[in-house]
Structure 1
């Protein structure tokens, strides 16, 4: 989850990512609940005219029309691009699973098809999997602050890569994002006020009604966990099953409901500490592996950490063409999201830089989305996070915040501090922001999955989510990377499948191991891990 990054990196992460009771009868005439708890005007469920998608006929596509403002259902309407993959075993079909791929700003019409094979087989067999581009994003009615692609690329080139270093770069960074906000406000100020997570949760409720499900079955990763928690508290009686993978602490996201933020969002979440710990583990495991498996290995964990520190110092003094120190740090954090092949590829890029060569760009995802890949500018995610999550409003304080953060988590704090700085000059405030409470009793319990070495959403946030929600069970993934979905564990998948299909939660304290630890080949593995932190049947690894 982030707003900014190296050129093209956010789009590449958006393309791969940086993240989850069997009743299925139609619901009619149920009014939507307002954020404050009172009823909002009843809104008819949109009609979904499903048809095979033009680019991939194994998927069905539809367009949902919803109100821009649910308080004014007769006013402006917007469109949502919706995509569906039907259950592969229709004779055993249970219902519809809605999926949000994170972000904010993740286009479900692109990412769900690219991630489809990562869903557990039992889930693919028994559920129609439906995703959509949230309002403001992608192929839906989207926030787009530029007249054309050339104007967008010119803006991208106007600000530093990764994060700013030094007074001159800080000024150009702040000026660039201030101008981005102004451009967005000029083009569609009304849309900017209506792209909050609460708005999207209401859209999700409408989509649930549209497919004829009496209760929601949902999986959300990364930012999708905040969307899920918001829905669960706006519509607690409509929850059938919900899997939230790589959780964001709702109190950190909303700043405990206060608009007066001292720290940026990502530092409140602890993303800097988690990224630093994951980077350290990457270097340690790389150093323990032979060069054949980790190109950046220096023969031992300590020697490899020292080698990385030396590389960073070199890049501070002299970039390798466009690869500056800040770009290398941003690439290191982003490169930790997906272990296979991401960690191996990251080690290769670091080794190229060590040898003074420009690294090759990461390969594009192989999966072809059923809808055209849309414009995915940074303003789409910014419009959501800057409205939902308070940040310091004085851009001048971020240099000091960066230095303070660096004392606790090094260069990762510099990256994550500036990721939220665009919000300091963002011009729009949301018309409808949900900031709690988070503990409304739900019709059924929620399953949380937390990964212990996650470079974006810390495991501590998963524990916090388990404490905030009224009825949730935390499954610990003793693994690496951002989301268990993108970093598979058969053990996690078994628990998720059993819960989604039959409502069976893992035992309290259950934990799982990844299928393939970093820099090691996959090994045969057994079934579900048991309670009390045990890992019966799961692969052990050096962590």
Structure 2
């Protein structure tokens, strides 16, 4: 297995996890924070051919660090564009955020681009950018080098902690991590909310010459889109929000005092339901189609529980990678994101089944190691990775001092969404989550723990309202989504003033990772001419999982 950067391994493919909020509650000015007196200057974009991405153009925009002080310090935003394939019928630009939070758009757009509807690629320039604090934009960096950060995070248990000793180790590591950010984060640390990213995107919209915004946002990108729509309601042309965050739950300060963001969102419940679907579908076919099948849904579910029990007792090493109970749960959750897999972005359920079967064989061998005559079995097959491989993409050499650190995820997450502010709240949350979402709950509970002592918030984050009148918005929800559950998409369809929900049957995280030609046709038509699908439309995915 290719070893991924520590940030990505720890989050296990949060390429499309969740979202966060920004701005001032009850804000009434459409295009500016309430305290701003003059609009910011529209950035000038000098498009140049991108390095390492043929056919793409790159540029850098200058925007205010603090949108309340337009004439103050400026920061850089890295931008990328793929021109429309039918320029004679070009409508404008389609802005795309890949999710995260903290996922850079410049490096990932070439991988995501083929997944966007054909109609959208024909009629729009596809534009993405590295949100402030991330990627090649002015970025949040808490350590002198990426290796320094990796050395610290390597001391934490893989995936999440299990047991009192590991819990204390985890808390200590992330206490040190947060203290490093307090020392070294600088002014960017307090200005990374989704609202400020939305304000940047509004300037970028003007910079490309579009009178109104056309936007596609999966996962966390859905929340960024909803934030933009409510900060700048008269500047929305069309928005597709795919795999939605529940804005009310995300901003719930009362529940946020005792329950982390992902548990309020129900990500643990979504993962549990999708895992059940995976095991059921796998058990209904033979091992030629699903390697982990035990011949029935019930037997396959029991086999998975037995595998985790074995790994609790004795971790195994397969293809040079050590798999503990927690690491296996984390890998399983990320492996549920895409049923069929997406080249360059995610592996499929068959790959997850193959990994689980390898671990089953390895744990079986471990239990038989002391039996006379039994030879050790060493697996040499490569293990699947659900994480995207991206090259550095820029209009020129990227500064060598920049790195993609875990702080770029938490810089947004902890700034936007309330979480319990004392580390000892998280062991009980993990127990609660595992009780309602067996196997997978603790993984989501502990992902929020670094926010317990995060050293900053953004005073300009937006917490609502989310029902300001806009052009019609199209929301998309997959019925069994392991990260942004379908109920969150239903909730957001009710919270937004003018939204239509398109349902996709099946499983996986967003339609972007789980292709549906039916959904693509509706999304493409909506983005081109604002035609929404009929109320109650349900689309099927293109293929069965096995």
TM-score by structure 1 length?
0.89
Deviation (angstroms), 1:55: 1.7
Whether the 8 Å contact between 1:5 and 1:161 is mirrored in structure 2 is: no
- Aligned counterpart for 2:384 among listed residues 332, 344, 362: 362
Whether the 8 Å contact between 1:445 and 1:472 is mirrored in structure 2 is: yes
Does 1:482 find its partner at 2:509?
Answer: yes
Deviation (angstroms), 1:355: 0.5
Structure 1 residues 63-93: Cα deviation after superposition (integer angstroms, max 9, x where no partner): 0111100111122111111000000110111
Structure 1 residues 93-150: Cα deviation after superposition (integer angstroms, max 9, x where no partner): 1110000010001110112111111111111111000000000111111111111132
Match of 1:240 in 2: 237
Please give the alpha-carbon distance, in whole angstroms, between the structure 2 residues aligned to 1:459 and 1:5: 30
Match of 1:428 in 2: 456
Can you give the 5+ residue segments of structure 1 that lack an aligned partner in the other structure?
20-30, 520-543
Does 1:55 find its partner at 2:55?
Answer: no
Match of 1:194 in 2: 191
- Aligned counterpart for 1:406 among listed residues 431, 434, 438: 434
Match of 2:73 in 1: 76
Q: CA 1:5–1:405 in structure 2 vs 1: closer, same or farther (change >3 Å)? A: farther
Please give the alpha-carbon distance, in whole angstroms, between the structure 2 residues aligned to 1:379 and 1:130: 25
- Aligned counterpart for 2:295 among listed residues 295, 299, 316: 299
Tell me the secondary structure at the aligned position of residue 141 of structure 1: coil
Q: Which moved more, 1:356-365 or 1:337-346?
A: 356-365
Please give the alpha-carbon distance, in whole angstroms, between the structure 2 residues aligned to 1:5 and 1:58: 27
TM-score by structure 2 length?
0.88
Deviation (angstroms), 1:38: 6.1
Q: CA 1:92–1:355 in structure 2 vs 1: closer, same or farther (change >3 Å)? A: same
Please give the alpha-carbon distance, in whole angstroms, between the structure 2 residues aligned to 1:318 and 1:132: 44
- Aligned counterpart for 1:376 among listed residues 388, 399, 404: 404
Please give the alpha-carbon distance, in whole angstroms, between the structure 1 residues aligned to 2:60 and 2:256: 38
For these two proteins, the number of residue pairs brought into alignment is 501
Whether the 8 Å contact between 1:6 and 1:162 is mirrored in structure 2 is: no
Whether the 8 Å contact between 2:12 and 2:331 is mirrored in structure 1 is: no
Deviation (angstroms), 1:168: 1.1
Deviation (angstroms), 1:10: 5.3
Tell me the secondary structure at the aligned position of residue 139 of structure 1: coil
Deviation (angstroms), 1:207: 0.3
Deviation (angstroms), 1:429: 1.5
Whether the 8 Å contact between 2:7 and 2:405 is mirrored in structure 1 is: no
Tell me the secondary structure at the aligned position of residue 257 of structure 2: coil
Match of 2:31 in 1: 33
Whether the 8 Å contact between 2:16 and 2:218 is mirrored in structure 1 is: no
Whether the 8 Å contact between 2:30 and 2:233 is mirrored in structure 1 is: no
Does 1:324 find its partner at 2:316?
Answer: no
Please give the alpha-carbon distance, in whole angstroms, between the structure 2 residues aligned to 1:296 and 1:117: 30
Alignment of structure 1 residues 466-481 onto 2, 5 Å:
466-481=493-508
Q: CA 1:40–1:512 in structure 2 vs 1: closer, same or farther (change >3 Å)? A: farther
- Aligned counterpart for 1:283 among listed residues 279, 282, 285: 279
> Which consecutive segments of 4 or more residues in structure 1 shift more than 4 A?
4-8, 16-19, 37-40, 257-260, 363-369
- Aligned counterpart for 2:486 among listed residues 441, 444, 459: 459
Please give the alpha-carbon distance, in whole angstroms, between the structure 2 residues aligned to 1:313 and 1:186: 41
- Cα RMSD of the aligned pairs, angstroms, is 2.1
Deviation (angstroms), 1:412: 1.2
Please give the alpha-carbon distance, in whole angstroms, between the structure 2 residues aligned to 1:232 and 1:7: 30
Deviation (angstroms), 1:6: 7.5
Structure 1 residues 236-274: Cα deviation after superposition (integer angstroms, max 9, x where no partner): 00000000000000011111x558522100110011111
Whether the 8 Å contact between 1:294 and 1:347 is mirrored in structure 2 is: yes
Match of 2:418 in 1: 390
Alignment of structure 1 residues 61-460 onto 2, 5 Å:
61-255=58-252, 261-321=257-317, 322-341=322-341, 342-356=348-362, 360-362=382-384, 365=388, 370-371=393-394, 375-442=403-470, 444-460=471-487
Please give the alpha-carbon distance, in whole angstroms, between the structure 2 residues aligned to 1:287 and 1:224: 34
Please give the alpha-carbon distance, in whole angstroms, between the structure 2 residues aligned to 1:416 and 1:368: 29
Deviation (angstroms), 1:315: 0.3
Structure 1 residues 271-312: Cα deviation after superposition (integer angstroms, max 9, x where no partner): 111100000100000111121111101111111001000000
Please give the alpha-carbon distance, in whole angstroms, between the structure 1 residues aligned to 2:340 and 2:152: 33
Please give the alpha-carbon distance, in whole angstroms, between the structure 1 residues aligned to 2:91 and 2:84: 9
Deviation (angstroms), 1:354: 0.3
Deviation (angstroms), 1:222: 0.4
Please give the alpha-carbon distance, in whole angstroms, between the structure 1 residues aligned to 2:284 and 2:7: 32
Whether the 8 Å contact between 2:11 and 2:159 is mirrored in structure 1 is: no
Deviation (angstroms), 1:376: 2.1
Please give the alpha-carbon distance, in whole angstroms, between the structure 2 residues aligned to 1:181 and 1:32: 35
Please give the alpha-carbon distance, in whole angstroms, between the structure 2 residues aligned to 1:368 and 1:260: 37
Deviation (angstroms), 1:455: 0.5
Whether the 8 Å contact between 1:10 and 1:18 is mirrored in structure 2 is: no
Whether the 8 Å contact between 2:58 and 2:80 is mirrored in structure 1 is: yes
Please give the alpha-carbon distance, in whole angstroms, between the structure 2 residues aligned to 1:5 and 1:510: 40
Structure 1 residues 472-524: Cα deviation after superposition (integer angstroms, max 9, x where no partner): 000001121111011110000000011000110000011100001201xxxxx
- Aligned counterpart for 1:492 among listed residues 519, 534, 537: 519
Q: Which moved more, 1:305-314 or 1:141-150?
A: 141-150
Can you give the 5+ residue segments of structure 2 that lack an aligned partner in the other structure?
19-28, 342-347, 363-377
Deviation (angstroms), 1:340: 1.4
